[in-house]
Amino acid sequence: GMNNSTNRVQEVSMITQGLKSLAKELDIPILALAQLSRQVEQREDKRPQLSDLRESGSIEQDADVVMFVYREEYYLARSEPSEGTEEHLKWQEDMEQLHGKAEIIVGKQRHGPIGTVKLSFNPDLTKFGNLASDNRFSGGH
Q: Where are the domains of the chain?
A: 1-63, 64-141
Q: How does pLDDT run across 54-72, given as a tens digit for each residue?
A: 766 788 888 999 999 999 9
Distance CA 85, CA 91 (A): 10
**What amino acid occupies position 70?**
Y
**Per-residue pLDDT at 54:** 72
Q: Which of 12, 65, 3 is nearest to 37 (CA)?
A: 12
Structure pTM? Answer: 0.80
Distance CA 75, CA 59 (A): 26
Q: Mean pLDDT across the stretch 36-58?
A: 86
